[in-house]
Every structure is written in structure tokens, then in C-alpha cells.
């Protein structure tokens, strides 16, 4: 299990400590000698006094113990919030000044930012496309326990580069463009390779001659046209752009129903393993991820890589920003001509009085006292007309009661 410091920021280095693989959480000092400290699943006992440590930070726990025991002072090395079974005491494990060390199980995020390797959001994509996180490139080294570790992104070099132009260029095929004006469209990725003849546009599926392109703004990804576009035109493009980051395809971040709806309100945390070390070991897959309900739960899900340090790069969370109640409905229908006064609307259309321009907007109103449904055999209609049947039925119901007749076979 691993956790974060309260003032966590990314990227951060996760490093194992030497004593039992756990970092120092508390140091307990007694003015009269050495305190007797034991820990249980959720409690810590100091000189006979019991304190619960779950659901509180170690700094709060240290202050609580110090207030309760006048001869005892406690310092906290980190400000993590331990869960059950997260604290441990080893016999003989003391500070140089004699304090009893209480260790925190797991890995803890250090604070020093030591690299520009970080998580970038996916390229601007449409809802039907896969959303892939990107990892910014970089290289740095750190030494732990005499071993030098090199962190880098070797996966970057093995991406599907353009067969025409090679690394660092990629080809984006049939990409949907944004129409910025009558003679300008925006490509989704960049910087764009603006050489003449490289970018090909399609207007409503029809390939356009490359001569329609007057200029390409490579950095802003804008293609200017000699001809004006029509309102509603669907413009797609085949083009080449420079990709300076590693596109991580280990998880599709698009939370739509067609892709990964289970990721709504989930955190995807990306972390980095060392590419190589001074011992000669190498790792070809350095970028990995875990999914959790919070940053803390993601840290707790990090696999145990024994003595290998881990770089936490950052996390991406996909959220639903609109609900059904946010949808506005506007009725675009207009009132009709109605029915002239000399005609009976219901004789023309049985539901004629439900029309807003004839009857009431919400339909025919009924008394709120009671409603009954009278089921009568259809064969009765061979002897009596409907109006006669209704007159007979009304004689047998209370005044103010709405009577509906259902003719059944």
C-alpha cells in the first residue's frame, strides 16, 4: 500500500526506505527514558495509553499523544493518513537521539519536482474517437542506495511514424476539422507540416484539389483556402504533424458509451518505472497506469516493484459536466388555423378539442372529484347509440363524476 503527502504535487518520486522497506512516520521521545510503544490494527499504545490512528493524519496523532502524555513528545516525519495495519514498530529501531521509531507501511511521495516528464491531455478529438493520454518526453537520473536509475520514455521511438517523413512526424487520416470562417479550417493536431501538397482536404467526402489551399499556419494548425466554404460543409483532412510526446494507448479515456463509460468520475493515474539502472537492468515498458476513485486510492493500487523507485506523473479524471436537467427544450411549432365556428371540431377529429388553438393548451379539463371507467360490450352499440349509452350510464353515477366508457368485445 502507498499514500500521498498532504502537499502532494506531481511529478513525484516514490522511493522505498531501508528499514523493513517502510518510511519513518513517527518518533516517540520520553523525557524520563525510552517509551514503550506497540501498535495494533487501528491503535497505537504509548506507555500504556491507547490512541486510535485511523482517519487522522500522523501530525494530528503526534499532537494528540503529546497533549495526553506530558513527559512524551512525538514528531511526525510525514503527514500521511494511515489506514488499518499501516503502522509498525521494530525492536531496536530508534532515532540517533533515542526516540522510538514508528514506521509507516508502504511508499510515500517525495516533494521535489525533478523532471519535466508529465501527463498531457489527449489531442483535441471528437466524441466518437478514442482519447489517448500523452506523456511529455524527458530524461533524468536519480541515485538510491548507491544505484543510479535513469528515467526516460523509450516507447516514444517505437510509435507509428510517417512512412514518408519519419520521426518525429505522424500522419493523421480523415481527421474532422473545425470550420473557422468561410475560407479557413482548423486541424485537430499540430504543429503541422506545411509543405505544399502534404495536406489534402475533403469537402463532404469529396477530395479537393491541393490548389484550393492558399497557406498553412503550421503552429496554429489553420489551413487557409482560396475558395469559400458553404454553411454546414463537413471538412476532413489527411495531413502530417509533428508529435513530440508519447501517445499512451494503454487505456482509452473517452467515457462515452461506445468507448469506456466505466471511467466517468474515475481517476486514471500514470506512473513511470526507471528505463535502466547502473546494475545493467533495463525495462522496455516504462509508462503504466492504475484506475481508482481518488488519487489516494490510485496510489494504494500501485504494484509492488520491490526496490524499484516509481515516478508518479499525474492523473486524469473524466467527469460528466451536464445532466438531463440542463437540457433546454423549445417548442418550435406554430398555432394552426383552427376550425371555423360553424363546424364541430370533435366531429372532424375526435381529439379536436385537445388542440391548443381550439381548446385549452393542456387539453380538455376534467373535474378533480372522481373518474370511473364503465366497460360495456360492443354488441350494445347495435341497439343503442353512444350518446344514448352515456345518458343511461350518467343516471347511475354521482354528480361531478367523470364517466369514461370502454367498449369491450
Whether the predicted pLDDT of 408 surpasses 80: yes
Name the band, by pLDDT with cuts 50, 70 and 90, for residue 307: confident
Cα-Cα-Cα-Cα torsion 160, 164, 167, 171, nearest 10 degrees, comes to -50
Q: Which residue has the higher pLDDT, 282 or 11?
A: 282
Whether the predicted pLDDT of 328 surpasses 90: no
Name the band, by pLDDT with cuts 50, 70 and 90, for residue 331: low
Grid cell at residue 252: 482509452
E strands within 208-309?
213-217, 222-225, 235-242, 245-248, 267-272, 276-277, 287-292
Please tell me the predicted confidence (pLDDT) of residue 332.
66
Please tell me the predicted confidence (pLDDT) of residue 13.
43
Partners of 239 in the β-ladder: 172
Q: Which residue has the higher pLDDT, 353 or 137?
A: 137
The most confident of 93-102, 193-202, 278-287, 393-402, by mean pLDDT:
278-287
Please tell me the predicted confidence (pLDDT) of residue 272.
92
What number is the average pLDDT over the span 12-32? 68
- CA dist 169 and 335 (Å) reads 59
> Where do the H-state alpha helices sit in 274-320?
295-300
Please tell me the predicted confidence (pLDDT) of residue 241.
94
| CA atoms in the 13 A half-sphere facing the CB of 173 | 3
Q: Which residue has the higher pLDDT, 335 or 4?
A: 335
Whether the predicted pLDDT of 210 surpasses 50: yes
55-114: per-residue pLDDT in tens?
Answer: 888 888 988 998 899 888 888 767 678 888 889 998 888 887 788 999 888 555 544 445
> Is this model's pTM higher than 0.85 or not?
no
Whether the predicted pLDDT of 194 surpasses 70: yes
Grid cell at residue 262: 466505466
43-52: per-residue pLDDT in tens?
Answer: 999 999 999 9
Please tell me the predicted confidence (pLDDT) of residue 40.
93
Please tell me the predicted confidence (pLDDT) of residue 366.
62
Asked if the peptide bond before residue 191 counts as cis, ω within 30 degrees of 0, the response is yes
Q: Tell me, what DSSP letter sits at residue 389?
A: H
Amino acid at each position: 500500500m502507498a499514500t500521498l503527502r498532504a502537499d502532494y504535487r506531481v511529478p513525484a518520486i516514490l522511493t522505498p526506505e531501508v528499514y523493513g522497506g517502510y518510511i519513518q512516520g513517527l518518533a516517540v521521545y520520553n523525557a524520563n527514558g525510552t517509551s514503550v510503544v506497540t501498535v495494533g490494527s487501528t491503535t497505537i499504545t504509548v506507555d500504556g495509553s491507547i490512541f486510535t490512528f485511523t482517519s487522522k493524519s500522523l501530525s494530528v496523532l503526534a499532537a494528540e499523544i503529546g497533549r495526553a502524555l506530558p513527559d512524551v513528545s512525538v514528531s511526525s516525519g510525514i503527514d500521511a493518513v494511515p489506514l488499518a495495519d499501516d503502522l509498525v514498530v521494530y525492536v531496536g529501531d530508534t532515532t540517533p537521539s533515542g526516540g522510538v521509531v514508528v514506521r509507516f507501511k508502504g511508499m510515500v511521495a517525495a516533494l521535489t519536482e525533478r523532471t519535466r516528464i508529465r501527463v498531457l491531455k489527449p489531442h483535441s478529438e471528437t466524441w466518437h474517437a478514442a482519447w489517448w493520454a500523452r506523456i511529455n518526453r524527458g530524461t533524468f537520473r536519480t541515485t538510491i542506495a548507491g544505484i543510479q536509475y535513469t528515467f526516460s520514455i523509450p516507447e516514444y521511438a517505437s510509435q507509428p511514424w510517417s512512412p514518408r517523413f519519419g520521426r518525429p512526424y505522424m500522419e493523421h487520416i480523415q481527421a474532422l476539422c473545425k470550420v473557422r470562417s468561410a475560407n479557413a479550417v482548423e486541424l485537430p493536431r499540430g504543429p503541422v507540416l506545411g509543405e505544399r501538397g502534404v495536406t489534402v482536404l475533403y469537402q463532404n467526402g469529396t477530395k479537393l484539389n491541393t490548389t484550393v489551399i492558399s497557406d498553412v499556419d503550421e503552429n496554429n494548425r489553420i489551413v487557409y483556402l482560396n475558395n469559400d466554404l458553404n454553411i454546414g460543409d463537413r471538412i476532413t483532412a489527411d495531413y502530417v504533424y509533428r508529435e513530440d510526446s508519447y501517445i499512451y494507448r494503454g487505456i482509452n479515456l473517452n467515457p462515452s458509451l461506445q468507448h469506456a463509460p466505466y471511467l466517468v468520475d474515475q481517476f486514471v493515474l500514470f506512473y513511470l518505472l526507471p528505463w535502466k539502472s547502473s546494475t545493467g537492468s533495463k525495462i522496455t515498458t516504462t509508462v503504466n497506469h492504475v484506475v481508482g476513485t481518488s488519487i489516494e486510492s490510485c496510489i494504494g493500487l500501485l504494484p509492488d516493484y520491490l526496490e524499484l523507485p516509481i515516478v508518479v506523473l499525474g492523473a486524469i479524471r473524466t467527469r460528466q459536466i451536464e445532466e438531463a436537467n440542463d437540457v433546454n427544450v423549445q417548442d418550435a411549432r406554430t398555432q394552426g388555423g383552427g376550425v371555423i365556428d360553424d363546424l364541430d371540431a370533435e366531429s372532424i377529429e375526435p381529439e379536436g378539442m385537445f388542440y391548443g388553438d381550439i381548446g385549452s393548451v393542456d387539453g380538455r379539463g376534467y373535474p378533480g372529484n372522481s373518474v370511473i371507467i364503465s366497460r360495456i360490450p360492443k354488441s350494445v352499440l347495435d341497439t343503442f347509440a353512444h350518446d344514448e349509452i352515456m345518458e343511461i350510464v350518467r343516471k347511475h353515477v354521482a354528480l361531478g363524476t367523470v364517466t369514461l366508457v370502454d367498449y369491450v368485445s
